[in-house]
Amino acid sequence: EQRNRVVFLGAGGVGKSSILKRFLFSTYSDSYQETVEDLYCREYVIQGSDIRVDFLDTAGKLVFPAMQRLSITTAHAFILVYAVTNQNTFEEVKRLWEMIKEVRSNYEDIPCVIVGNKIDLEDNRQVEKFDALNWVYNESNCGAFIEVSAKNDECILEVFKLLMEKAKNPRAKI
């Protein structure tokens, strides 16, 4: 049986855990609980085959840089998250992508989705959708892009649909 590891990366507080919990448990909380590292294992039947997916939820890099590097090494797919309300977290996604390129020679074959979270806070937006789209599709060519709100359950399912689309690439290992 094949095991596939989907790794969530991004600055602390952008909503990685919230997106994952929305998707897996249909829950959301406004209180912030910092993650060290959590692994959630699920089994799906996709087009007749049993697929095992391990979702790895990580901490922000400043706390555990070695763990972050290891999580990049072991990933079959990436979900890179920033908050549209914080430009620094978008810069962190760019930095993470550079790190992925450095660590994984086959990075072009690894499914990756870039997620801009917290669009319910439109009044506090710092990262324009146009700029994010431009970086994802024109500059980095690193994957698919979507804006979401874990709080309002907006487009959360789409994140995982996009990842599945990317994974259809025969060279992807998921």
Task: Write out the residues near ligand GDP by the rule CB under 6 A.
Answer: 10, 12-18, 29-32, 35, 117-118, 120-121, 149-151
**First vs last Cα of the chain: how many Å apart?**
12
CA distance 124 to 138: 26
Please say whether the dihedral angle defined by the alpha carbons of residues 50, 70, 127 and 134, taken in this order, is positive or negative: negative
Closest approach, Cβ 91 to ligand GDP, in A, equals: 15
Interior angle at CA 60, CA 54 and CA 62, nearest 5: 135
Closest approach, Cβ 105 to Mg ion, in A, equals: 29
**159: β partners:** none
**115: β partners:** 81, 146
Choice between 14 and 163, CB closer to ligand GDP: 14
Q: Which does 134 bind (CB under 5 to 8 A by kind): ligand GDP, Mg ion, none?
A: none
Choice between 27 and 49, CB closer to ligand GDP: 27
Q: Which does 120 bind (CB under 5 to 8 A by kind): ligand GDP, Mg ion, none?
A: ligand GDP
Contact 100, 68 (CB under 8 A): no
Choice between 14 and 142, CB closer to Mg ion: 14
DSSP run (H or E) holding 138: none
Q: Which does 151 bind (CB under 5 to 8 A by kind): ligand GDP, Mg ion, none?
A: ligand GDP
Interaction site with Mg ion (CB under 5 A) = 16-17, 35
